[in-house]
Amino acid sequence: MLSPKKIKFRKQFKGRMKGKAQRGSDISFGEFALKAISCGKLSSQQIEAGRIAINRKIKRGGQMWIRVFPAKPITSKPAETRMGKGKGAPEGWVAIIRPGKVLYEIKGIEKETAKKALKLAASKFPFETKVICKEETV
């Protein structure tokens, strides 16, 4: 799974997911992309599941870019633990996704195959997404 090699602090505040994506909202590398419409958290397991789904659908044809990285630690306390006694231990890593963020990009395959592959990856995520093309955005 994806995770940072080195971090400054083990635990982070929860934060708020408001506003639109400032960066990473345009297609930079590929021809087709999967773009987030609503906000949410994308875990490293979900990013990997989307990557595997796309690779299986395109059958090693073309090229793919992952435009998100899980850099925020998520903590959780053990089950059946009483309140208090501090914050839980780091459990996994998530990427905070805001509306407009491009998640995956594909290049070098037909339009129909690309759309099917990106829709398949979108079914793995806990928020709404849409498939966009470079020629439509220009």
Domain at 43, CATH number: 3.90.1170.10
Q: Structurally, how many domains does the chain consist of? A: 1
CB–CB of 64/97 below 8 Å? Answer: no
Residue 123 in domain = yes
pLDDT tens string, the chain, 138 residues long: the values are: 899 999 999 999 999 999 999 999 999 999 999 999 999 999 999 999 999 999 999 988 899 999 999 999 999 999 999 999 999 999 999 999 999 999 999 999 999 999 999 999 999 999 999 999 988 654
Nearest in space to 45 (alpha carbons), one of 101, 102, 93: 93
What backbone torsions phi and psi does residue 130 show, to the nearest 5 degrees? -145, 155
Residue 124 DSSP label = T
- Which strands, in side-by-side order, build the sheet including 89-97? 40-43, 89-97, 72-76
Q: Measuring CA to CA, how many Å separate 85 from each of 43, 78, 82, 128?
A: 26, 12, 8, 37
Residue 6 in domain = no
Residue-range definition of the domain harbouring residue 68: 32-75+90-137
Could you tell me whether strands 63-66 and 32-36 are parallel, antiparallel, or unpaired per DSSP bridges? unpaired
- Taking the C-alpha atoms of residue 103 and residue 69, their distance in angstroms, rounded to an integer, is 9
pTM, two decimal places: 0.91
- Taking the C-alpha atoms of residue 92 and residue 72, their distance in angstroms, rounded to an integer, is 8
Residue 4 in domain = no
Residue 8 in domain = no
